[in-house]
Amino acid sequence: MKKLLAASAIAMALSFAGTAAQAAPLTFSSNGVATFSNVITTSAGSTFSDNYTFSLPGNSSASGSLTTITLGQLLGLAINSVTLTNTTTNTVFNAVLNSSSTATGTNYSIPVTLLTGGSYKLNIAGSVSGLSGGFYAGGLNVAAVPEASTTAMMLGGLALVGFVALRRRRNEDSKSFAASQMTAA
């Protein structure tokens, strides 16, 4: 029985380690949020590099956050870099991470970045500081940004509505003026 449990634990650890290097697709919810996480099961001193892929239909702004969990010397990670790459144009966005550490982990904020439509890869790389590995979790927020032509069309429509309202007001003013001239005569 002990051998079976040990074999199961080793198989589970290897399955976690095997999925760490593969590109996992991110799925965005209806409000534009995608979450990601990974359990790193390698020992202290080793490094990791995880990739997450997603596509955007048009211009968008993206921001996010990332949290590691520290549990004494047992669990711990150090995030060294977060890179966002547009795989369609090979444009690389290196995120400058703003971090705040607590006794139970480190919180990282990924600043707002303007993105064009296309396919993207989010890479999270770091090193393991815990004896039994570590854990991180995060989220990516994406919001659509209107194109310049859409904004111009909206402003043109607003100007047209204003012109029609002004013309109606002038027509009403001229009719009331003509009516007052007729009663005065």
The closest alpha carbon to 135, from 12, 46, 41, 44, belongs to 41
Same domain, 86 and 154: no
Shared-domain flag, residues 173 and 138: no
Evaluate whether residue 21 is within a structural domain: yes
Name the domain count of the chain.
2
Alpha carbon separation from 81 to 35, 43, 121, 165 (Å, rounded): 18, 20, 13, 56
Residues 6 and 68 in one domain: yes
Between 175 and 126, the higher pLDDT residue? 126
CA distance 170 to 162: 12
Does 34 reside within a domain?
Answer: yes
Q: Are residues 117 and 159 in the same domain?
A: no
Let me know whether 151 and 77 are in one domain.
Answer: no
Looking at the structure, tell me whether residues 33 and 103 fall in a common domain.
yes
pLDDT score, position 103:
83
51-71: pLDDT as tens digits: 999 998 888 888 999 999 989
pLDDT in tens, 136-156: 999 999 988 766 666 677 777
For residue 115, being part of any structural domain is answered with: yes
User: Which pLDDT tens digit goes with each residue over 42-51?
Assistant: 989 999 999 9
CA 71 to chain centroid, in Å, comes to 27
Q: Are residues 49 and 109 in the same domain?
A: yes
Residue 184: pLDDT band by 50, 70, 90 thresholds? Answer: low
Rounded Cα distance, 162 and 181, in Å: 29
Which CATH number fits the domain that encloses residue 90? 2.60.120.380
Q: Say whether both 59 and 125 belong to one domain.
A: yes
In a domain, 182, yes or no: no
Same domain, 137 and 73: yes
Among 67, 79, 131, residue whose Cα is nearest residue 105:
67
CA–CA dist 74, 5 (Å, integer)? 21
Domain extent, residue 151, equals 147-177
**Does any domain span residue 184?**
no
pTM: 0.67
